[in-house]
Amino acid sequence: MQVDGDDTYTVQRFRGGYALVWWDVAEDGTRKRRRTSLEASDRASAEAEARQVWQSGDDSPWTVGRIMIGYLATIEAKPSYNRRKDAWKAMKAFWERVDPLLIDERMAKDYHDQRRAGPSTIRYELMQLSTALGWAVKNGPKLPGRIPVWLPQAAESKRRHLNHQEFDKFFASVKAEHAKLYVMLGLYTMARPTAILQLTWDRVDFMRRQIDFTPPGHLRTAKRRTVVPIADDLLPWLQDAYSARSCESVVERGGEPIACIKKAFQAATERSGVYATPYTLRHTGAVWAAEAGVSMPKLAQFMGHDDDRTTQKHYARFSPEFLTEVANVIRKRA
């Protein structure tokens, strides 16, 4: 079982049983392989035992890296796991070997100053560090108490959608064909990034002109997957991609599914000067639909909201009829 990268741990066969295997990095930069036998006699039990040993039983130093790996192992079943794992990958170079007892405001500010990312991203990463240290108080090293982590001030919320001119400029700067297909899917289905990247051709019904974003066995969460119609403008893009397909994934490159589309968006942002993320497309499609007069209940169903309260909170103000009735009755008399 590989948890995260080359320098965490694996469970391997050893002398008729199983062993926990990991790598330590010495002060001179050399790597040393370590191993400890496990009591379990089957793979599932060995993986469960290894997780417990890794979190609390081995004698390697309790660095931030070890704490973070232990914390992430406890949230594997949560929807936020993949995002938190990706955040740790970005944080790892700075924080991995840090003694948690040495963390102070100056260290957190140093991370803020050297991290090339937006303020919201940096704040999210430092909040994750704080959460992991809080977990460690009860589950890891015997820290004297919760270690405070300095956080940058929350950034003012940005406009989360593009207007039509901005979208055209951004889309013209998208180069790769798989990225162009992703952009069209994101705009015309309003699906979340993970749902689009996990979409396979068996759930694209050209006869009924529908896309089912729910994969088999998907565990329903608050972020509900939907079945949406294929828009007229999206159809030729899907037809061309289907004709050229080389694997089951709809968004693919060279016969391999795409795990992350962020780099393509960053490159297009730099070329166009229009800032957009994969999630921007969902908001853009919703705003354009609201501006065109689509009702909030219909938009809620399309976006996968359980009811239209969330939809109204974010998008009702873009509707041409929003609060018009209130404005028009102000001067009316009985």
CATH number at residue 288: 1.10.443.10
Query: In this structure, are 192 and 314 located in the same domain?
Result: yes
* Cβ-based neighbour number of residue 202 at 10 Å: 11
60-64, 160-164, 181-185, 330-334, range with the lowest pLDDT: 330-334
Is residue 219 included in any domain, yes or no? yes
pLDDT of residue 292: 92
Question: 5: number of CA atoms within 13 Å, CB side?
Answer: 15
Structural domain contains residue 328: no
Q: Which of residues 156, 174, 197 is at a domain's end?
A: 156
248 shares a domain with 185: yes
Q: Are residues 177 and 237 in the same domain?
A: yes
Task: Looking at the structure, tell me whether residues 174 and 310 fall in a common domain.
Answer: yes
Average pLDDT over residues 172-181: 96
Q: At what angle do helices 262-272 and 177-189 cross, to 10 degrees?
A: 90
Residue 101 resides in a domain: yes
Per the prediction, the chain carries an average pLDDT of: 86
Q: Is residue 114 part of a domain?
A: yes
> Does residue 256 share a domain with residue 295?
yes
**How high is the pLDDT of residue 34?**
79
pTM (2 decimals)?
Answer: 0.57
Q: What are phi and psi of 227, to 5 degrees?
A: -110, 120
pLDDT band for position 1 (cuts 50, 70, 90) = very low
CA 283 to chain CA mean position, Å: 16
Pair 105, 186 in one domain: no
Task: Tell whether 330 is covered by a domain.
Answer: no
Using pLDDT thresholds of 50, 70 and 90, give the confidence band for residue 49: confident
- Give which of 75, 9, 89 is closest to 46, Cα–Cα: 9
Q: pLDDT band for 16, please (50, 70, 90 cuts).
A: confident
- Count of the separate structural domains present in the chain: 3
Span of 79-83, 145-149, 153-157, 297-301 with lowest mean pLDDT: 153-157
**Tokens, residue 57:** 């039983």
Backbone angles phi, psi at 273, to 5 degrees: 80, 10
pLDDT at 19 over 80: yes
Which range marks the domain in which residue 91 is found? 79-156
Answer yes or no: do 22 and 112 share one domain: no
334 falls within a domain: no
What are the φ and ψ backbone dihedral angles of 33, each rounded to 5 degrees?
A: -80, 130
DSSP 269-297: HHHHS----HHHHHHHHHHHHHHTT--HH
Same domain, 174 and 311: yes
Are 51 and 85 part of one and the same domain? no
**How many helices (H) and strands (E) in the chain?**
14, 8
Domain boundary among 107, 123, 156: 156
Q: Count CA atoms within 13 Å of residue 50 on its CB side.
A: 27
Which of 126, 156, 186 represents a domain boundary (last residue)? 156
**Mean of pLDDT values over 127-138:** 90
Please check the confidence at residue 219 and state whether its pLDDT lies above 70: no
pLDDT of 125 higher than 90: yes
pLDDT at residue 7 tops 90: no
In contact, 125 and 84? CB cutoff 8 Å: no
Summarize the confidence of residues 99-116 as an average pLDDT. Answer: 94
The answer on 171 and 311 residing in a single domain is yes
| In contact, 324 and 243? CB cutoff 8 Å | no
Do 140 and 221 belong together in one domain? no
* Between 61 and 149, residue with greater pLDDT: 149
Please check whether residue 66 lies inside any domain of the structure. no
Tell me if 274 is assigned to some domain. yes
Amino acid occupying residue 98: V
The more confident residue out of 63 and 206 is 206
312 and 199 assigned to the same domain:
yes
| Residues whose CB is less than 8 angstroms from the CB of residue 169 and which lie 6 or more positions away in sequence, other chains included | 272, 273, 274
pLDDT of 6: 44
d(CA 298, CA 307): 10
What are the tens digits of pLDDT across the range 225-274? 789 999 999 999 999 999 999 999 999 999 999 988 999 999 999 999 99
